[in-house]
Amino acid sequence: MFRNFLTIAKRNLLKQKVYSLINIIGLAVGITSTILIIFYLQFEFSFDKFHKDAANKYRLSFASSREGKIEYESPIFVPPVGPDLKSEYPEVEQYTRFSTPRTYHYYVDNKYFKISGNIYADSTFFDLFSFNVIAGNKKSVLSEPYSIVLTKRIAQRIFGNKNPIGEALKLGNNFVYKIAGVVDDPPANSEIQFNALLSFSSLYKNPKNYMDWNGGNQYYTYIKLKNGISQKSFESKFPDFMWRHINQELSKVNIVYKASLQPLTDIHLKYNESNEAGMTNIYIFSVIALLIILIASVNFINLSIARSSKRIKEIGIRKILGAGRKNLFFQFITEYLIISFAVLLVVILLLELFYPSFNVIAGQNISLINPYSLVNILQVLGIIFLVGILAGGYPASYLSSLEAIKSIKGEKIERSNKVNLKNILLVSQFVISILLIISTIFIAKQLSFINNKDLGFDKDNIVVLPLLNDESKNNIPTLRNSLSSLNGVENVSGSSDIPHNNFTSNGYFPEGFSTPVMIHVLDCDQDFLKTYRIQIKDGRNFVAGRASDSSTYLINEALAEKLNWKDPVGKTIRRGGIHTVIGVVKNFNYSSLHEGIEPLIITEKPYRNLFDFVSIKIGSGNIAGTLAAIKTNWEKINPNTAFDYSFLESDIEQLYNAENNFKNIFFTFTSIAIILALFGLFSLASLSTEQRKKEIVIRKVLGDTSTGIIFKLMKEYIAYIFVANIIAWPLAYYFVQKWLNNFVYRIEINWLMFLLAGVATMIIALFTVIWQATRAASANPAESLRYE
């Protein structure tokens, strides 16, 4: 019997090749897209789970509050937290610390190497983190001052196949680091990324580093709790710990730090500052995966129901000849299982073709997820056959339930066009299409808004040179004079920071305040505002050569507003002396647009009287030639320091890598979903029109015009789209609003966009229906009436 089912199934599938192909390809594309999204979600949820005993490991975070109001929260804090927790609480099994990443220039045999991602790490780093040390003793590689561990990629880049252990890297003019180990590159699904690990004990060798509780907020602290110790129970000990070490002193100025624990495996999606919308994006992609598989299934069901009219009489004859409902049901299920098997083959082909390129779209190394692991193979098979059974179950049940006599007479044909489920599924497709179109419009507009927003300064054609040693820092005056005379160079300025990824902050006592206020600070020369085209609202800029200006301040509008200063010029701010405010600059964004513009002080006196960056505003013509001239002058003035540069615009773009990756994935899969929905609509309209071909011709013979016939066919689709808009708009508003809430600077939700999405859906749908109806209405009546 099963062989008979296979023969009949094969015959019916080949008889309607086009619609069988549409079913197979549509379902395969939908399932492939869903599987790729699932692989992406697996990757996102896999972060840092490879570390041994990851469930017992936490990162510390610290929230600063004044008078009960939280001012900011960050995992970056002072160095002594870890050691003091370990010594005072037996619940802490181990701790480790590492610094924020830095970019250094090293010399090996007088050859220069630029390495980004340098972090100073404790000797316990490899006790907490399961990175694979492939050379050196992981227990001791970071124990000695001025020792360094390189990643495998960096070691091969510098030394090739030579064993690097014991080799020396010269950092600047003063420090030599001995290579003590080599570690595998951190996997892509780790929040902790580095290219070189420098021993943390090296920091204590420099007396200029703040390594106590009174400063030096540059370090992350991780701890491992002993088995059985819960996060909540240990966090209850933090208030007393923080009070003894820092809060008792700070309470005198109404500042309190609150410590908390962040589970290691939650950091990527819940606490990552560069991925603030992490969990929101996970929800969105989960919904998209569900919508895609729903659309593919709806197409399958709708086409199966629509094709059933051609098999009504076949079913009636089979029932008269003795076929029971059970036999017919299994016959149709066999057809759907054959389709599922064909879908499986197409899915495998599509995965082979598109899985590698999906890494590029996602901006992540998703290839860490093995699509051919046993779990994923079972997952793929399960999705395909579950969708096949569920999507084919209703048509099989419906077709096998038809009454024999009515089927022979064709009575069921008329009723089959009014199946409520088919209409519900059609409306569902319209809802999904409208929802995705609206979301796509707003996400595209928000990302365009970010890329084109006026930041309050000119970011175009600004070349940034990092000053990584005292030689280049001391030579700024000479470099400025030399570069200023070059053709193509408009302005040159030195500064402590670059306006793209926030500035450092300190405590200050503004006039009228008895307690310190945490305020961001930028040190720069008198040409900084001119170089960046930052406007002065009140007062004046620093004046070159005026000695008294070295102790004066500029402030931004945000600080004046926070201090409630109506006339800030002439006010004073105390920190290491009394400083007079000589001007107010207009607000400009010196951090990502995820954050608002915070209060800022601008000084002309940097730490140690040395700046860390040079900014060069160049013209838009002959950029390559200007860069070459800048490099030549740099090498003359700083012969012992390698030339390195970046464009500020590129640095700013990197702040939104997470958003751009999200955009790429979202646009790719929403496009697939919308195309699948329209593809299904096209096929359904085609079959529906074909089923009503006789009706259309009879109406035409009786005097109805083609326009009248087309309008009658359009009416039901207009009603479906109207209902779909009513359902889709509130859902779209909810999802768009939730995603936009991740941005401080965001577009407004314009209801006109909802209307445009609804109109666009209607135009596309009606165009499809009109095209099919026009073909039917213009057909030769004799041929149509002779049909069957």
- The answer to whether residues 647 and 663 belong to one domain is no
- Residue 591's nearest CA partner among 267, 273, 218, 118 is 273
Name residue 599's amino acid: P
Residue 95 has pLDDT above 60, yes or no: yes
What pLDDT is stored for residue 412 in this prediction? 45
- The answer to whether residues 87 and 214 belong to one domain is yes
More confident residue, 216 or 534: 534
- Residue 244's nearest CA partner among 99, 97, 87 is 87
Residue 36 has pLDDT above 90, yes or no: no
Q: What is the DSSP string of 82-123?
A: HHHHHHH-TTEEEEEEEEPPEEEEEEETTEEEEEEEEEEE-T
Name residue 102's amino acid: R
- Please check whether residue 80 lies inside any domain of the structure: yes
- The answer to whether residues 620 and 735 belong to one domain is no
Token readout for 715 is: 């009416």
Cα–Cα distance measured from residue 624 to residue 64, given in angstroms and rounded to the nearest whole number: 46
Q: What is the pLDDT of residues 446-502, one digit of tens each?
A: 888 877 888 889 999 999 998 877 888 888 899 999 999 899 999 999 999 999 877
User: CA 316, 318, 319, 323: dihedral to nearest 10 degrees?
Assistant: -160
- The answer to whether residues 485 and 629 belong to one domain is yes
Q: What percent of the chain has pLDDT over 90?
A: 35
The mean of the pLDDT values for the chain is 83
Q: What is the pLDDT of residues 307-344, one digit of tens each?
A: 655 666 666 666 665 666 676 676 677 777 777 788 88
- The answer to whether residues 592 and 730 belong to one domain is no
Number of neighbouring beta carbons within 10 Å of residue 678: 18
- Please check whether residue 502 lies inside any domain of the structure: yes
- Residue 80's nearest CA partner among 201, 221, 261, 208 is 221
What pLDDT is stored for residue 220 in this prediction? 96
Secondary structure of residue 594 in the 3-state scheme = coil
Region 599-628 average pLDDT: 90
Specify the DSSP element, H or E, that contains 466: strand 462-466
Backbone angles phi, psi at 486, to 5 degrees: -80, 145
Cα–Cα distance measured from residue 396 to residue 340, given in angstroms and rounded to the nearest whole number: 14
Q: What is the pLDDT of residues 227-285, one digit of tens each?
A: 999 999 999 999 999 999 999 988 877 889 999 999 999 999 888 776 666 787 788 88
Region 530-535 average pLDDT: 94
- Please check whether residue 266 lies inside any domain of the structure: yes
What pLDDT is stored for residue 715 in this prediction? 75
- The answer to whether residues 503 and 431 belong to one domain is no
Cα–Cα distance measured from residue 480 to residue 512, given in angstroms and rounded to the nearest whole number: 39
- The answer to whether residues 565 and 664 belong to one domain is no
Cα–Cα distance measured from residue 198 to residue 178, given in angstroms and rounded to the nearest whole number: 10
Token readout for 771 is: 């095209």
Sequence-distant (6+) residues with CB within 8 A of 64 are 70, 71, 72, 73, 255, 256, 257, 518
- Please check whether residue 689 lies inside any domain of the structure: yes
Number of neighbouring beta carbons within 10 Å of residue 72: 12
- The answer to whether residues 210 and 253 belong to one domain is yes
Residue 616: Cβ-neighbour burial (10 angstroms; 0-12, 13-18, 19+): buried
User: Do the beta carbons of residue 471 and residue 173 sit within 8 Å?
Assistant: yes
Name residue 128's amino acid: L
Number of neighbouring beta carbons within 10 Å of residue 762: 20
Q: Which of the listed residues 273, 307, 322 is the one where a domain comes to its end?
A: 273
- Residue 35's nearest CA partner among 352, 360, 364 is 352
Cα–Cα distance measured from residue 142 to residue 136, given in angstroms and rounded to the nearest whole number: 10
Q: What is the pLDDT of residues 122-139, one digit of tens each?
A: 999 999 999 999 999 989
Give 111's strand partners: 108
| 211-225, 242-256, 270-284, 514-528, range with the lowest pLDDT | 270-284
Alpha-helical regions (H) of 580-647: 623-637
- Residue 273's nearest CA partner among 76, 54, 121, 48 is 76
Secondary structure of residue 148 in the 3-state scheme = strand
User: Do the beta carbons of residue 277 and residue 737 sit within 8 Å?
Assistant: no
Sequence-distant (6+) residues with CB within 8 A of 43 are 188, 189, 364, 366, 368, 369
- The answer to whether residues 491 and 609 belong to one domain is yes
Give the residue carrying structure tokens 């951090």: 591
Give, as one character, the DSSP assignment of residue 61. Answer: E
What pLDDT is stored for residue 240 in this prediction? 95
- Residue 310's nearest CA partner among 536, 13, 573 is 13
Token readout for 269 is: 């999606």
- Please check whether residue 457 lies inside any domain of the structure: no
User: Do the beta carbons of residue 200 and residue 142 sit within 8 Å?
Assistant: yes
Cα–Cα distance measured from residue 363 to residue 657, given in angstroms and rounded to the nearest whole number: 8
Alpha-helical regions (H) of 508-571: 528-532, 557-562
Alpha-helical regions (H) of 563-602: none
Give, as one character, the DSSP assignment of residue 588. Answer: -
Specify the DSSP element, H or E, that contains 57: strand 57-66
- Residue 691's nearest CA partner among 294, 331, 429, 419 is 419
Distances (CA, A) of 162 to 131, 158, 167, 695: 22, 9, 10, 83
Q: What is the pLDDT of residues 352-363, one digit of tens each?
A: 888 777 777 776
Q: What is the DSSP string of 545-577?
A: T-GGGGG-EEEEHHHHHHTT-SS-TT-EEESSS
Cα–Cα distance measured from residue 301 to residue 392, given in angstroms and rounded to the nearest whole number: 7
- Please check whether residue 456 lies inside any domain of the structure: no
- Rg (C-alpha) for the chain, rounded Å, is 34
What pLDDT is stored for residue 416 in this prediction? 44
Secondary structure of residue 601 in the 3-state scheme = strand
What pLDDT is stored for residue 569 in this prediction? 93
User: Do the beta carbons of residue 663 and residue 443 sit within 8 Å?
Assistant: yes
- The answer to whether residues 158 and 199 belong to one domain is yes
Give the residue carrying structure tokens 């609206």: 438
- Please check whether residue 455 lies inside any domain of the structure: no
- The answer to whether residues 334 and 483 belong to one domain is no
Q: Which of the listed residues 655, 680, 703 is the one where a domain comes to its end?
A: 655
Q: How does strand 613-618 pair with strand 462-466?
A: antiparallel
Residue 690 has pLDDT above 90, yes or no: no
User: Do the beta carbons of residue 355 and residue 371 sit within 8 Å?
Assistant: yes
Number of structural domains found in the chain = 3
Q: Which of the listed residues 622, 655, 688 is the one where a domain comes to its end?
A: 655
Backbone angles phi, psi at 663, to 5 degrees: -60, -45
Token readout for 31 is: 């399932």
- Please check whether residue 441 lies inside any domain of the structure: yes
Per the structure, the complete domain to which residue 764 belongs is given by 2-44+277-450+658-785
- The answer to whether residues 438 and 517 belong to one domain is no
